[in-house]
Amino acid sequence: MIAFEEAQEKVLNTAGSFGVVNVPLSKANGRVLAEPIFADRDFPPFDRATKDGIAFCFDLSKPHYTFEIQDVAAAGSLQLSLDDVKHCHEIMTGAIVPKGANTVVMYEDITITNGIVTVETPVTIGQNIHYQGSDEPKGNVLLNIGTVITAAEIGVLATVGKSEVLVQKNPVITLFSTGDELVTFDSIPELHQIRQSNSHAIRAALLEWGIASEIVHIKDEKEAIYNALKTALADSDIVLMSGGVSKGKFDFLPEVLEDLRVIKAFHRVAQRPGKPFWFGCHKAYKTTVFGFPGNPTSTFANFHVYFIPWLKSCWGLPIETIEAHMLDAYENTIPLTRFERAKAFIEKGQFKVKIIEGNGSGDLTSLVLANGFVQIAPKSILEANQKVVFIPTRQILK
């Protein structure tokens, strides 16, 4: 049995890219950018009116405040020219400022009588003009490698004409569960049976990261497990297992994994829940195996504590430690790192967290009350208001 910190380090040390792939813009949402994105032209590409009104040439030494309307500069039209300082063009938001004009005044600040405009407010040269290249000159990096693509980034990608975007590949994942007591979710279980839930919960958690996965469930028969696991290892970048790694008589997985030449990095970590965690890699298949214990909370905790940071690291994303203030004091009397179900919230600008009273690691229903886990060192005492590491399991804001 190793310490949590050692286990975490061993897991993160195996992180590496799954490769990169071009996806169409419409599918790029949520992916991690694998190429820098440059401004393909100046932004804005021309001196652009930011208001509807008139454009004219203002000369501080000889200020004019009345103008004859010459033409209308519409957005999406070619650039007009102004032929006299006593003339103006009407101009629409998004239109090119006419050649010879240096100022835009909005309709709200003028009056128009018989084609003659009178400006009713003080004027500053250059007002209401968004100058060419003032946001970004051509060639500037707009988005760096490693950016998570969300709505704002999609806007930038569309603006620079990226109809295809190079992103980090998603891993191919098999969710592998064992256990004779488990029946499918659409079955009526006998008294001694329960429905499978872990694989479905983890499948949903992966979907929140944009990753599809395959569910495989095998009875506690060594040969069947061997054959199914061999296929899963060959076909997948990652095998996420729940159950079958404890000390039970039918916990065949550690043995079968060894038979299949998956190299064990460690088995069992000084933590609760999730102690029987088995972790290793298959060199030839380049498959990483996360063997989580079968209790719902154990699998769910280890998925968020180990797998998600590892996944982020594979994608080149930073792993950030989030800290929250404990609402109540807490004593961890055991020599194991604890991951307690908890609910974090922002109250008056402070990030706080309250531990959810659960009923052991078999208690699935208390997970719906939590939005994460707090991480508490072995044999330690946390005072109320003390800071603690918080590991989110769902969106907290937004």
Q: Please report, as residue ranges, which positions from 165 to 184 form the binding site for a second copy (by CB under 8 A).
A: 179-182
- CB closer to a second copy out of 29 and 85: 29
Q: How far does Cα 396 stand from its chain's mean position?
A: 13
> Could you give the string, one character per residue 125-164, with x where binding to a second copy holds by CB under 8 A and - elsewhere?
-----x---xxx-----xx---x-xxxxxxxxxxxxxxx-
Q: Under rule CB under 8 A, which residues in 217-236 are in contact with a second copy?
A: 220
Decide whether 281 or 322 has the Cβ nearer to a second copy: 322
- Of 85 and 389, nearer to a second copy (C-beta) is 389
Which residue lies nearer to a second copy by CB, 147 or 302?
147
Q: Which is nearer to a second copy, 102 or 246 (CB)?
A: 246
- Please answer whether residues 352 and 327 qualify as being in contact, where contact means their C-beta atoms are separated by less than 8 angstroms: yes
How many residues belong to the chain? 398
Among 10, 169, 203, 264, binds a second copy (CB under 8 A): 203
48 binds a second copy (CB under 8 A): yes
Report which of 207, 379, 202, 225 is spatially closest to residue 306, judged by C-alpha positions.
Answer: 202
Of 321-350, which residues contact a second copy (CB under 8 A)? 322-325, 344, 346, 348-350
Q: Which two tokens stand for residue 137?
A: 């000159």
Taking phi first (over 0 means left), then psi (-120 to 50 degrees means alpha), and beta for anything else, what does residue 176 get?
A: beta
Query: Can you tell me which of 296, 307, 337, 376 binds a second copy, judged by CB under 8 A?
Result: 296
Residue found under tokens 């154990």: 298
| Nearest CA among 106, 141, 142, 146 for reference residue 17 | 146
Among 103, 288, 295, 375, binds a second copy (CB under 8 A): 295
At closest approach, how far in Å is the CB of 86 from a second copy?
A: 22
- Judge contact between 252 and 223, C-beta under 8 A: no
Which listed residue (30, 146, 316, 378) binds a second copy by CB under 8 A? 30
Q: How far is the CB of 106 from a second copy (least distance, A)?
A: 8
Instruction: Determine contact, residues 120/6, Cβ cutoff 8 Å.
Output: no
The closest of 251, 249, 301 to 272, measured between CA atoms, is 301
Nearer residue to a second copy within complex by CB, 233 or 370: 370
Site for a second copy contains 69 (CB under 8 A): no
Q: C-beta of 129: minimal distance to a second copy in Å?
A: 10
In the 3-class helix/strand/coil scheme, how is 292-321 assigned residue by residue? ECCCHHHHHHHHHHHHHHHHHHHCCCCCCC
Does 274 sit near a second copy (CB under 8 A)?
no
- Alpha-carbon torsion (262, 268, 271, 272), positive or negative: positive
